[in-house]
Amino acid sequence: MKIIQIYTDGACSGNPGKGGYGIVMKFNDKQKTISEGFRLTTNNRMELLAVIVALEKVTVDTYPIEIYSDSKYVIDSITKGWVNSWVTKPNFGGKKNEDLWKRFLEVSKKFNITYHWVKGHNGHIENEMCDKLAVEASLNPNNIDKIYESKK
């Protein structure tokens, strides 16, 4: 069976501070990496944005997707159903990153996704690649004018 594998990580120096995300996407024998950095953001925003951007890059909805992340914030919020309960509350229950969670819910609804938590900085090859991409992106001098933070 064909499966799209997505590995993600976020990084931030200071919280808020300079941040970035890294993505490794695999399908069959092809691999693609994506990263972007921001001058002002938080680690949780970068972790979540990595998942969103990866899903936004998927152009077909016929294959199952497996997402791997070392972020308990992202994985637990999804797999434990917390994000679905926030949606039912006024103002998203006052949760931070409401803008990103709404974006996630919109993009994820068309896919069959399984989520996996992996321990970070533990030798997992793709997670280490994502971490390196995220850190490098966060340090990119071209991020000077990029700001990515929640309105809340």
| 131 classed as catalytic | yes
Q: What is the mean pLDDT of the chain?
A: 93
| 70 classed as catalytic | yes
What pLDDT, on the 0 to 100 scale, is given for residue 147? 74
For residue 24, which of 125, 114, 137 has the smallest C-alpha distance? 125
Alpha helices in 17-124 (DSSP H): 43-57, 72-79, 82-87, 98-108
| Domains along the sequence of the chain with CATH | 4-143 (3.30.420.10)
pLDDT confidence tier of residue 46, bands split at 50, 70 and 90: very high
Mean pLDDT, range 57-66, rounded to an integer: 96
Asked whether the beta carbons of 134 and 10 are under 8 A apart, the reply is yes
What pLDDT, on the 0 to 100 scale, is given for residue 17? 93
* pLDDT tens digits for range 99-134: 999 999 999 999 999 999 999 989 999 999 999 999
CA atoms within 13 A of residue 58's CA, in its CB half-sphere: 29
CA distance 118 to 27: 19
Q: Find the angle CA(127)-CA(76)-CA(131) to the nearest 5 degrees.
A: 20
pLDDT confidence tier of residue 151, bands split at 50, 70 and 90: low
**pLDDT tops 70 at residue 74:** yes
| 61 classed as catalytic | no
- Catalytic-labelled residue, pool 10, 19, 22, 37: 10
For residue 3, which of 68, 67, 64, 69 has the smallest C-alpha distance? 64
Alpha helices in 33-92 (DSSP H): 43-57, 72-79, 82-87
- Catalytic-labelled residue, pool 19, 37, 47, 126: 47
